[in-house]
Structure 1
Amino acid sequence: MPVARPVAAVAAVIALSLGVAACGASADDGGSGSGAGAAAARSGYPVKIENCGTSQVFDKAPSRVVVMNGASVAEVSTLLALRLGDKVVANQQSYGMSEFPGRAEAIKKLPTGGVKQNAAFDIPRESMIGLRPDLVLSTTSYGFDAKNGFATRDELKNVGARTYISPQGCHDENSKLTIEDSYRLLRDMGRIFHVSDRAEKIIAASRKHIADIASKVKGKKKPKVMMLFTNMSMGSNDFSSVVAKGIYNDILGKAGAVNVFADASKTSFADLSKEKVAATDVDALVVIAYQDPNPAAYAEKLFKEFPQWPAAKNHTYVTVSDSIYLSPDNDLAVERIAKKLHPDAF
């Protein structure tokens, strides 16, 4: 979920992008129903996806999927939500926790391919080629950059693998992500694996859930929220993992809150000094845990450091993990935040 590269590498691969279009084949006009065109129509293939300047054509559903790290769980969570875990031969994504029951455990059970990550916290070129993938998923373009020690999209194409960069990840910056991009990722995977019906059911249920919550908090006073990743550094100042823009703000808005630091940066994260943070009224904290088993402790630490905040005086904070970023479970983040900030509405 972040963008910078933990602590400079792992925490930065959270961004994404793309443009998508799927097209099915038309049936053979021969009338027999047994031609190649008719067979293609029945199978739903070929499927064509326009992704970050490349055309990815799928003649059948991938069966050897590799999921790169990207400091995200968006891609692997989407596959699991669509019941496609059996297609994964190597997964490098893990948040260690999840708002979705059983998700963290399901991710942990997936094969890792025996990969040893490189200095950029992901699958090195040689290991990737050796996995013999037919589809490689990356959160951003970073995962296919040769200078980072990774196999390029062209190299993977030469060994028969299709590649996919998630929504808004073409330029390795996720400041324009919204909940709609989570739905786009679901739809793309639905098309690629010919399970669009499953994707649409998840999307419809999510839309309804979010709409129901938004209606309950409509008209309520919106708390000013500071959102940040726990114990993570992505810049030069004390608070470099404070969220400024991206899907986080879309989720906050649906939950009846506003990001107090939304204008502090043009990119996803604001690199703030301690003085700036101290001088800002914060009504509530949203603490995002990435590989942190105790995010609540981080919230308590901040309250002791900034006792003047309304959030500290009222002890108001929410902890979240994977549902706050690109995810099939954004509705859970909306619900969790809304219930904490507007308990009287539920």
Structure 2
Amino acid sequence: MNNRFARTRPRAATRTHTLRSTLAVLSALPLALTACGTGVTSDPSNSAGPEETVEVTNCGRELTFDTAPENLVGMMPSQTEMLIRLGLQDSLVGQAQTDVSTLPDDIADAAADVPVLSTDAPPAREDLLAAAPELVVSPTEYEFTAEQGFASIDQLEENGAQAYVATGGCADRRNTAEVTDVLTDITDLGAIMRVPDAAEELSAEAGNRLSAVDEAIDGSKRPTVAQVYVEGESLSAIGAGVEADIIKRAGGDNVFDPDAPEFAEFFAAEINPEEIISRDPEAIVFGVSGPAQEEKTREYLQSTFPDVAAVENDVLIALPQADLHPGTLGNIDSVEAIAEGLHPDAF
């Protein structure tokens, strides 16, 4: 999982610090947004005639685009995928964190000639700036942490580039992010890049997929679900954020309350196995980086919770961790996969 669950955490509680430090190496998912909005105005001073100016509110910043950016960088495969699905592959001058996940087979060839700026971490400042992007699209604000050696948003602006962060990846929305935030990203990027028709088509397809799940599970009993992340013998519960909304959209009832104190500042919390045993979930959902981690996690769950309903009935649902990143169409894949695991008779 390379979506950095957290950046830095206060050291007030050792458990919390350990979890966030561990997941910070793994996932860049810490953030969230204020309200995003898109607007179009015209510039009457343009001597060649009125030209549309697109204004977008993103992570509390006002972004203005007098023309469509020509050079794009996707800071994660999830963002690169979205840009390609909007028909913008010819504008890509860089892709980053390419080892986090693979692009879907149907679009992989479209990115074959796009320069790789980094593999398992955000690109170094000099590497990103050398690509001369005009728009950098990122899953979170972490990718712009100057202290980590990455180009900051201010440094990008000084070099003629703007940054768009996934709606669910802005710092003040991380704990309340929703699956439908990705639809905001599609609309915003469609407006910025002047491809509204492609954005409308992609958004409609995504919305239809979610509606199909809603219709299939309508009236079904909602099984109890625990979503966890396992690293070695360390166990973490996922109680808030887009992950919690994915469980909800898939027709499950999370055994962890997003309003509980342990999730007040962060969407995940390190827990003891007894927390799972006492809640006895009917299903367990877990994110993995690949087959090896999936196998290890299944072995851990089966040996640690043999009497828990989810293990007894083998309702252990593995998801690619990358599909839990903010701003990815994989969120919808996750809803579909979990819904089918929870409600097999509905599909």
Which of 39, 49, 56 aligns to 1:23? It is 39
Amino acid at match of 1:16: A
Shift of 1:189: 0.9
The match for 2:203 is 203
Q: In 2 relative to 1, CA 18–79 (structure 1 residues): closer, same or farther, beyond 3 Å? A: farther
> Aligned to 2:129, what secondary structure does the other structure show?
helix
> What TM-score does the superposition give when structure 2 sets the normalisation length?
0.81
* Cα distance in 2 between the residues matched to 1:180 and 1:86: 27
Q: In 2 relative to 1, CA 92–345 (structure 1 residues): closer, same or farther, beyond 3 Å? A: same
* Cα distance in 2 between the residues matched to 1:107 and 1:230: 34
**Deviation per CA, 1:137-195, whole angstroms, max 9, x where unpaired?**
23222222322222222221111111122214332762111022111111111111111
Q: Does residue 1:111 correspond to 2:111, yes or no? A: no
Q: Does structure 1 retain, via aligned residues, the 8 Å contact 2:319–2:334?
A: yes
The match for 2:213 is 213
* Cα distance in 2 between the residues matched to 1:220 and 1:97: 34
The match for 2:161 is 161
Q: Does residue 1:88 correspond to 2:92, yes or no? A: yes
The match for 2:333 is 332
**% of aligned pairs identical?**
27
**Deviation per CA, 1:87-135, whole angstroms, max 9, x where unpaired?**
222211343357x5546x4587363445487xxx322222222221111
The match for 2:15 is none
The match for 2:179 is 179
**Deviation per CA, 1:51-73, whole angstroms, max 9, x where unpaired?**
2343322222222222335xxx4
* Cα distance in 2 between the residues matched to 1:36 and 1:122: 40
Of 138-147 and 280-289, more deviation after overlay is shown by 138-147
Q: Does residue 1:295 correspond to 2:294, yes or no? A: yes
> Aligned to 1:22, what secondary structure does the other structure show?
strand
The match for 1:36 is 48
**Deviation per CA, 1:204-223, whole angstroms, max 9, x where unpaired?**
22222222222221222211
Q: Which runs of 5+ in 2 are unaligned?
A: 8-20
Shift of 1:257: 0.7
Matches within 5 A, 1:264-275: 265-266=263-264, 267-275=266-274
Matches within 5 A, 1:1-346: 1-4=3-6, 7-14=22-29, 15-26=31-42, 35-38=47-50, 40=51, 45-69=52-76, 73-94=77-98, 95-97=100-102, 102=106, 105=108, 109=112, 111-115=114-118, 121-171=121-171, 174-229=174-229, 231=231, 238-240=234-236, 242-262=237-257, 263=260, 265-266=263-264, 267-291=266-290, 295-321=294-320, 322-326=322-326, 327-346=328-347
Shift of 1:313: 0.8
* Cα RMSD (Å): 2.9
Amino acid at match of 1:333: S
* Cα distance in 1 between the residues matched to 2:302 and 2:207: 34
> Aligned to 1:308, what secondary structure does the other structure show?
coil
> Aligned to 1:286, what secondary structure does the other structure show?
strand
Q: Does structure 1 retain, via aligned residues, the 8 Å contact 2:69–2:193?
A: yes
> Aligned to 1:37, what secondary structure does the other structure show?
coil
Q: Does structure 1 retain, via aligned residues, the 8 Å contact 2:79–2:139?
A: yes
Q: Does structure 2 retain, via aligned residues, the 8 Å contact 1:245–1:269?
A: yes
Q: Does structure 1 retain, via aligned residues, the 8 Å contact 2:96–2:117?
A: no
> Aligned to 2:197, what secondary structure does the other structure show?
helix
Q: Which runs of 5+ in 1 are unaligned?
A: none
* Cα distance in 2 between the residues matched to 1:96 and 1:116: 10
* Cα distance in 2 between the residues matched to 1:287 and 1:268: 14
Count of matched residue pairs: 324
> What TM-score does the superposition give when structure 1 sets the normalisation length?
0.82
